[in-house]
């Protein structure tokens, strides 16, 4: 390795405090094993490293790009990374996390150029990626796997859950229970998986034999205040929705709490379905109707794709989509 990750990335990767990481870097600097380069980072002084006997082929490395430190990710995402680390360890490869919001900007070219210059990985994995990040890797033609859905104009390998099928099923479920005014709460950001979810909602209505079904998408800014304002607006209308599908489990909490403060009961006054799952949903009453995903299964599918990329055998761009398990819960009722 020619360049070391940043101090923050090292502390996240090694699960140590910033102070401990800083002390270790100072010790390496005193031994002349690393050289800080202004404006570029920390360079490994290869000339000062003792040359030992070769132990065989070097371990392959995988770089994972995430928007923030692993401890700040949703539990489902941090657990997925842990599963992937275990799969890579068994394969004899190492995983290095690169966490920063700069990689998720509308124009991340400069930050990504610096990243790949300092870190020569055999393969990259993009988690929670946006269109700009995906497009950059597509144009650079680097070995890359998207953990999540890809946008229609992106030609990269991807592994994700089938959000389209989930929302199609959720919509059909509500229609079968007599609901005719259905709303899908989606993020204004509209990630690729969210776009797939919207398509599933429309398919659920189109394939239904019931008439006069009104299903629409409303957008929020992915925070409690924005979700709360949206709920109040919808339920101040003459014909509020009778069924709501929520695309984010955190936003599901905001919807439930806003409805409760306004005096609406779930599911007596409105039925709710969470597209996503997180462990804390088990503690809600009524238990949310939701979809549960197999994180270990996703990690295994990703590992198969990574191995194919590392061995040069991944040529066909066929997105891998995993099914979810439906949990009926108690937040939905028949009208």
Tens-place pLDDT, residues 204-251 = 999 999 989 999 999 999 999 999 999 999 999 999 999 999 999 999
Per-residue pLDDT averaged across 139-150, rounded? 94
Which of the four pLDDT bands, split at 50, 70 and 90, describes residue 330?
very high
Under the banding of pLDDT at 50, 70 and 90, the label for residue 15 is: low
Residue 333 has pLDDT above 50, yes or no: yes
- CATH number of this structure's domain 3-161: 3.40.50.2300
For 31, counting Cβ atoms within 10 Å of its Cβ (0-12 exposed, 13-18 middle, 19+ buried), the class is exposed
Same CATH fold assignment for domains 3-161 and 163-293: yes
> When comparing pLDDT for 28 and 101, which is higher?
101
| Centroid of chain to Cα 6 | 23
Which among 82, 56, 81, 65 is positioned nearest to 123, based on CA atoms? Answer: 65
pLDDT at res. 278: 92
Identify the pLDDT of residue 4.
79
Model confidence band, residue 314 (pLDDT cutoffs 50, 70, 90): low
* Domain boundaries of the chain, sorted by first residue: 3-161, 163-293
Q: What mean pLDDT do residues 161-169 have?
A: 97
- pLDDT surpassing 50 at residue 55: no
Instruction: Classify residue 43 as exposed, middle or buried by CB count within 10 Å of its CB (0-12, 13-18, 19+).
Output: middle
Averaged pLDDT, 115-127: 94
Could you tell me the pLDDT band of residue 29, with boundaries at 50, 70 and 90?
A: confident
Give percent of the chain with pLDDT exceeding 70.
94
Q: What is the pLDDT of residue 53?
A: 47
Beta carbons of 163 and 200 less than 8 angstroms apart? yes
Alpha-carbon 182 to chain mean position: 26
pLDDT value at residue 155? 94
Q: What is the pLDDT of residue 86?
A: 83
CATH number of 163-293: 3.40.50.2300
Residue 245 and residue 187: Cα distance in Å, rounded? 12
Mean pLDDT of the 272-287 span: 95
Rounded CA-CA distance 302/66 in Å is 16
Phi, psi (rounded to 5 degrees) for 202:
-65, -35
Q: What is the 3-state secondary structure (H, E, C) of the chain?
A: CCEECCHHHHHHHHCCCHHHHHHHHHHHHHCCCEEEECCCEEEECHHHCCCCCCCCCCCCEEEEEECCCHHHCCHHHHHHHHHHHHHHHHHCCEEEEEECHHHHCCCCHHHHHHHHHHCCCCEEEEECCCHHHHHHHHHHCCCEEEECCCCCCCCCEEEEECHHHHHHHHHHHHHHCCCCEEEEEEECCCCHHHHHHHHHHHHHHHCCCCCCCEEEEEEECCCHHHHHHHHHHHCCCCCCCCEEEECCHHHHHHHHHHHHHCCCCCCCCCEEEECCCCHHHHHCCCCCEEEECCHHHHHHHHHHHHHHHHCCCCCCCCCEEECCEEECCCCCCCC
Instruction: Please say if the pLDDT value at position 154 is more than 90.
Output: yes
Task: Note if the bond before 267 is cis, omega within 30 degrees.
Answer: yes
- Calculate mean pLDDT across residues 179-188: 96
Q: How many CB atoms lie within 10 A of CB 2?
A: 10
pLDDT, one tens digit per residue, over 58-94 is: 678 999 999 998 888 888 898 899 888 888 877 888 8
Mean of per-residue pLDDT scores for the chain: 90
Q: CA 72, 73, 78: angle at the middle one, nearest 5?
A: 120
pLDDT band at 27 (very low <50, low <70, confident <90, very high): confident
């Amino acid at each position: 390795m020619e360049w070391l990750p940043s101090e923050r990335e090292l502390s996240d990767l090694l699960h140590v405090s910033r102070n401990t990481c800083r002390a270790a870097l100072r010790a390496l600097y005193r031994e002349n094993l690393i050289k800080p380069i202004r404006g570029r980072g920390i360079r490994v002084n290869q000339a000062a490293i003792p040359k030992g006997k070769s132990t065989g082929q070097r371990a392959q490395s995988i770089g994972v790009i995430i928007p923030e430190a692993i401890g700040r990710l949703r539990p489902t995402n941090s657990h997925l990374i842990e599963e992937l680390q275990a799969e890579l360890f068994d394969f004899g490869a190492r995983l290095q996390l690169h966490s920063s919001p700069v990689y998720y900007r509308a124009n991340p070219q400069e930050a990504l150029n610096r990243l790949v210059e300092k870190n020569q990985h055999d393969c990259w994995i993009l988690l929670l990626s946006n269109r700009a990040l995906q497009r950059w890797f597509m144009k650079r033609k680097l070995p890359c796997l998207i953990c999540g859905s890809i946008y229609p104009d992106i030609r990269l390998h991807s592994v994700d859950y089938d959000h389209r099928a989930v929302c199609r099923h959720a919509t059909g479920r509500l229609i079968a229970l007599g609901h005719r005014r259905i709303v899908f709460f989606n993020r204004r950001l509209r990630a690729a998986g969210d776009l797939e979810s919207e398509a599933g909602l429309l398919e659920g209505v189109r394939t239904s034999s019931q008439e006069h079904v009104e299903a629409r998408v409303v957008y929020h800014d992915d925070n409690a205040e924005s979700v709360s304002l949206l709920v109040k607006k919808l339920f101040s209308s003459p014909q509020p929705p009778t069924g709501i599908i929520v695309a984010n489990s955190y936003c599901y909490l905001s919807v439930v709490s806003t409805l409760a403060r306004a005096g609406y009961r779930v599911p007596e006054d409105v039925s709710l379905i969470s597209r996503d799952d997180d462990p804390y949903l088990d503690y809600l009453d009524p238990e949310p109707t939701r979809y549960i995903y197999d994180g270990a299964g996703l990690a295994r599918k990703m590992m198969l794709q990574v191995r194919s990329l590392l061995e040069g055998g991944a040529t066909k761009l066929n997105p891998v989509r995993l099914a979810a398990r439906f949990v009926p819960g108690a937040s939905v009722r028949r009208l």
